[in-house]
C-alpha cells in the first residue's frame, strides 16, 4: 500500500512538473560607436537596443487557462554593470498574469506600456533615432510603467485590443512623473499588413492632462517591407512622423529610415545592415545623421557596428 502511495505521489509530481516551464533568456549587445568624429568607444547597445536577461514561465491550469510571469533586468556588457536602481532589480519587466485561450490575458505589475507595444519595431533602427531620442521619440506613452494592470484580448478576424491603467508611480521614458495613465490600443494583422492605433489619457504629478495618440502601419511587399508612423504627444514634445523600409537579401537585412518632428523641426535619417550569422547571432553596421535643431545631444553623425547574441 505504501509503495502504491509513493508511486502515485511521484506520478502526480511528474505530471505537475510537465505542465509548468521556466526559461532563462536574454540578449547581449555590444559594439563600437563614434559620434561626430569622436574617438571610437566600445559601448553596450551600439545600435540602440539594450542588453537584458530574465526569467519567464508558464503553468497550464487546465481548461485553456494558464498562469504566466516575466522578470527581466538590463545590463551593460561593456562594463558588466547592471541597469537598476536601489528599488528596482528587474527594472525592465516584473509581472504575473492569468491567461485564457478564449478570453485573453490580464497582466499585473511593471511592464511595457500599450503605446510601446504598438510602436516597438517601427523606429528607424530600434526604438529611437539620434535626433528624436530626447524629443518626440515616437512613443508618446513612454516605454514601461509601474503598478500597471493590462488586458490583452485574443485576435478576432485579425483585430486585437490592449487596454491598461497605471495606478501609481513613474513611467520610464517620460521626463515628467505621472499620477495616472490609462491606455487603449487596437491592432490589426492580416497577411502582409500590420497596423496599430494607440491613445492614452495621461495625468502628470502636477495635474497636467494630455491625450497622446500614435499610429503606424507596415506592409510586406515580398521583396521589401515599408512602414509609416505618426504620433501626436499632445505636449511641447510635439508631433511628427517616421518612415522606414527593410530589404531582405539572403543573410542581410538592409534598411533605411527617416523621422521628423514637425513641431521642433528636428529630424534624422538612418541606414544600416543586419547580417545573420545564425538564428541567434547577428552583426550590424549603422550610419545616422541627425538634426536636433539646437539640441546639441541629438545633432550630428553617428557610426555604429557591433554584434548581438540572443540566448
87 pLDDT band, cuts 50/70/90, is: low
Mean pLDDT, rounded, of the chain? 82
- C-alpha grid cell for residue 195? 497596423
For the record, the C-alpha cell of 153 comes out as 484580448
pLDDT in tens, 232-290: 888 877 888 888 899 999 999 998 888 888 888 888 888 989 999 999 999 999 888 87
Interatomic CA distance for residues 158 and 214, integer angstroms: 19
Domain boundaries, the chain: 32-310
The separation between CA 7 and the C-alpha centre of its own chain, rounded to angstroms, equals 46
Q: Which three cell numbers stand for residue 168?
A: 501609481
Q: What's residue 134's pLDDT?
A: 43
Pick among 3.40.50.880, 2.40.160.10, 1.10.3980.10, 3.40.50.1100: CATH of 32-310: 2.40.160.10
Quick one: cell of 286?
Answer: 549603422
Residue-level length of the chain: 311
Q: What is the pLDDT of residues 99-132, one digit of tens each?
A: 999 999 999 999 988 988 887 766 545 444 544 5
Say which residue the cell 553596421 belongs to.
Answer: 285
Strands 252-261 and 225-232, sheet pairing: unpaired
Amino acid at each position: 500500500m505504501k509503495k502504491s502511495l509513493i508511486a502515485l505521489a511521484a506520478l502526480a509530481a511528474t505530471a505537475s512538473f510537465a505542465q509548468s516551464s521556466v526559461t532563462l533568456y536574454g540578449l547581449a549587445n555590444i559594439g563600437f560607436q563614434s559620434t561626430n568624429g569622436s574617438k571610437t568607444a566600445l559601448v553596450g547597445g551600439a545600435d540602440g537596443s539594450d542588453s537584458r536577461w530574465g526569467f519567464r514561465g508558464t503553468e497550464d491550469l487546465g481548461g485553456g487557462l494558464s498562469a504566466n510571469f516575466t522578470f527581466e533586468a538590463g545590463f551593460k556588457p561593456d562594463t558588466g554593470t547592471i541597469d537598476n536602481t536601489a528599488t528596482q532589480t528587474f527594472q525592465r519587466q516584473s509581472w504575473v498574469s492569468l491567461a485564457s485561450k478564449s478570453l485573453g490575458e490580464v497582466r499585473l505589475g511593471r511592464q511595457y506600456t500599450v503605446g510601446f507595444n504598438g510602436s516597438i519595431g517601427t523606429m528607424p533602427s530600434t526604438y529611437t533615432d539620434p535626433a528624436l531620442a530626447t524629443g518626440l521619440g515616437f512613443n508618446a506613452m513612454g516605454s514601461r510603467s509601474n503598478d500597471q494592470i493590462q488586458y490583452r484580448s485574443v485576435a478576432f478576424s485579425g483585430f486585437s485590443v490592449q487596454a491598461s491603467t497605471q495606478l501609481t508611480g513613474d513611467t520610464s521614458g517620460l521626463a515628467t512623473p505621472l499620477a495616472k495613465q490609462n491606455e487603449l490600443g487596437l491592432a490589426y494583422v492580416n497577411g502582409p499588413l500590420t497596423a496599430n492605433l494607440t491613445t492614452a489619457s495621461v495625468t502628470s504629478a502636477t495635474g497636467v492632462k494630455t491625450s497622446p495618440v500614435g499610429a503606424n502601419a507596415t506592409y510586406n511587399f515580398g521583396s521589401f517591407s515599408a512602414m509609416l508612423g505618426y504620433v501626436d504627444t499632445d505636449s511641447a514634445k510635439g508631433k511628427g512622423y517616421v518612415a522606414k523600409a527593410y530589404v531582405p537579401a539572403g543573410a542581410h537585412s538592409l534598411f533605411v529610415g527617416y523621422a521628423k518632428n514637425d513641431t521642433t523641426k528636428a529630424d534624422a535619417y538612418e541606414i544600416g545592415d543586419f547580417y545573420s550569422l545564425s538564428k541567434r547571432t547577428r552583426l550590424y553596421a549603422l550610419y545616422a545623421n541627425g538634426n536636433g535643431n539646437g539640441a546639441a545631444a541629438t545633432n550630428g553623425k553617428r557610426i555604429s557596428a557591433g554584434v548581438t547574441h540572443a540566448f
